[in-house]
Amino acid sequence: MEEFPEEKKKILEKMAGAIRGLSIDAVQKANSGHPGLPLGCAEIAAYLYGQALNHNPKNPHFVNRDRFVLSAGHGSMLLYSSLHLSGFPLSLEELENFRQLHSKTPGHPEYGETEGVEATTGPLGQGAGNAVGMALGLQILAQKFNTKDHTLFDAKVFCLCSDGDMMEGVSHEVSALAGHLQLNNLIFFYDANHICLDGPLSECASEDTKARFEAYGWETYDLDPYDFDAMHELISRVRKEQTKPVMILCHTIIGKGSPGKEGTHKVHGAPLGPEELAATKEALGVSQEAFYVPKAVENYFHEKLKKDEQLEERWGEKYRLWSKANPQLHEEFQKMAESHLPEDLEEKLRGIEVPDSVAGRKASHAVLDVLADLLPDLYGGSADLSGSDLTMMKKYSIIKPGDFSGRNIKFGVREFGMGTIANGLALTQMFTPFVGTFLTFSDYMRNAIRLAALSKLKVIYQFTHDSIFLGEDGPTHQPVEHYAALRAIPHLYLIRPADAHEVRGAWIAALNHQGPSAIALSRQSIPTLEETDLPYAESVGRGAYILKKEKSKPDYTLFATGSEVPLAMSVARELHKLGKQVRVVSMPCFELFEAQDEEYYESVVGGDLGRRISIEAGVDLGWHKYIGREGLSICLESFGASAPAGVLAEEFGFSIDTILEQIL
């Protein structure tokens, strides 16, 4: 390998100094933040943004770019400083507004808020999962679209992880899967400074992390992160010869250069203070001027940006030639890039044969098999439950170690990791990922769902076994509080379809939502209702709609979701026999309903509707918005029990007779 030029090393040293100076200035000005990581890892960022990353800051969405994920999101000023210096559209003024309202430099990096931020990170471990998902996505794209004449995809994914990331369980889940799949485009830098927020790492951890990654099937290396020659030699070799995911253990010093705080937890999450800041800049040999950027660094990146743009231009020419030679692949590429939905999507789904009675999970599986052929960007899998949650696309194979030609992913019993990897797939902007598990296990992946919602990522969760009526597995597996818990997440659609007709609508809603959607599906068979066989725009697309209309002022209005909708219809028929006027409202998605115009909203839930009653096999949280304080919520106030579904219906008041007893 050719020697790394001294002139370039000097520029990268100046860039590392600028990263340190900008970072501690921003933290000090905000009087809030984490200066320790930027001080300790500045050379890693300088090398990546100044030398290693193949990308184009003038087009942050260049599809074959190398990605950098800061899993240790608390060190966000390391990233923001690097983005500013390397030419991304992030001004010096934005750095000065670090952690201020409506700035592009929030306390932790947020995808969509700041160009160049590849993932929303901060909750430790999740950035590692996002990086695994991105690397997996790029492997899939490479195998799908690269030809012997044209290599469209050869990008790498770099991720900076802290001790905290390594301790979080989700990093174990995703790293094990990455090793199993032999993702040879994934590189972790482990910021091994041996310090936690609370004190030395030795007070809470003593495992051999390097050995752990070797056990996962990763290549591992030790690196002095302050030696540019060693860094260049290693990264250049890895880029050419990598056969497995790589973990580079970097022996960093937290708060490097801070005379009074270097190497201690005191520099992790608090400003240095004016005197320590000045002393640190003096020790580092950087300007005392606030937010100073050396002219040499500006000039270097002015020239480098031209090369970065040329890199994308060369790729564009390659893409043009590839497109001409491979028209069918080009068409599929365009569909994936645009997340294209066919105009006749609803018509295609309405062509699926619907039995008189079918479990929600089976109805969804039938939809999924049709969608698989229509949507080339639809990839997904299950947390070791594909035979139960029915997420396996029948016509397509399983992704295997080193073979990414399939479209089904076996995530193993790794719900949280699965959620973070799905987010990473979505972040490539080429996939619509779906993942499956039992609804009760959504708790394991809840923070990944939350970050998908915060980032407005189109990820679809197929949550089956959606109520106590799954039966004998008992309360450990029976969701009770989960509808309310998921409805509480902003920008997430929770869709609980009543039957096979509404299942089709649930998928249409999820595919049209620019954010995550959770489809809650029954294990048990549910009658297919004639009344739900309506166009999407008149049913699930409204979030709630009148299933049974009263002829005069209603005595009762029954609101229900999922498997309790057919039950509500049966109760309504019995009330009708007693001469009562009844309205039945199916409410598959609260969030969609709340988005309707006021006129429609009032037509469904407004006015004098008689006694209002909700029927849902979960806690009543959220229902009183629709039924009022005086309304009756037929709900669950315990954790269920282990018994056949019919016995549970009687025990917990979800049979026709028990409901009539409560309301008459």
Angle between helices 274-284 and 6-30 (to 10 degrees): 180
- How far apart, in Å, do the first and last CA atoms of the chain sit? 85
CB 182 within 8 A of CB 349: no
Which of 94, 118, 173, 415 is flagged as catalytic? 415
Q: What is the DSSP string of 563-627?
A: THHHHHHHHHHHHHHTT--EEEEE-S-HHHHHTS-HHHHHHHH-S--SEEEEE-SS--TTTHHHH
Q: Starting at the edge strand that comes first in sequence, how are the strands of the sheet with 186-191 ordered?
A: 67-70, 157-162, 186-191, 246-250, 219-223
Block residue for tokens 């009770």: 480
Phi, psi angle pair for 208, to nearest 5°: -90, 95
Catalytic status, residue 415: yes
Block residue for tokens 């990146």: 301
Q: Which amino acid is at 554?
A: P
What contacts 44, CB < 8 A, 6 or more positions away? Answer: 160, 189, 191, 225, 231, 250
Block residue for tokens 């990455």: 178
Chain centre to alpha carbon of residue 423: 3
| 476-480, long-range: CB < 8 A, 24+ apart | 476/440, 477/438, 477/440, 478/440, 478/639, 478/640, 479/438, 479/439, 479/440, 479/442, 479/520, 479/618, 480/617, 480/618, 480/619, 480/636, 480/638, 480/639, 480/640
Phi, psi angle pair for 272, to nearest 5°: -70, -30
Q: Rounded to whole angstroms, how far apart are CA atoms 505 and 368?
A: 12
Q: Which amino acid is at 578?
A: L
What contacts 334, CB < 8 A, 6 or more positions away? Answer: 340
Burial 191-203 (b: 16+ CB within 10 A, else e): bbbebbeeeebee
Active site residues: 415
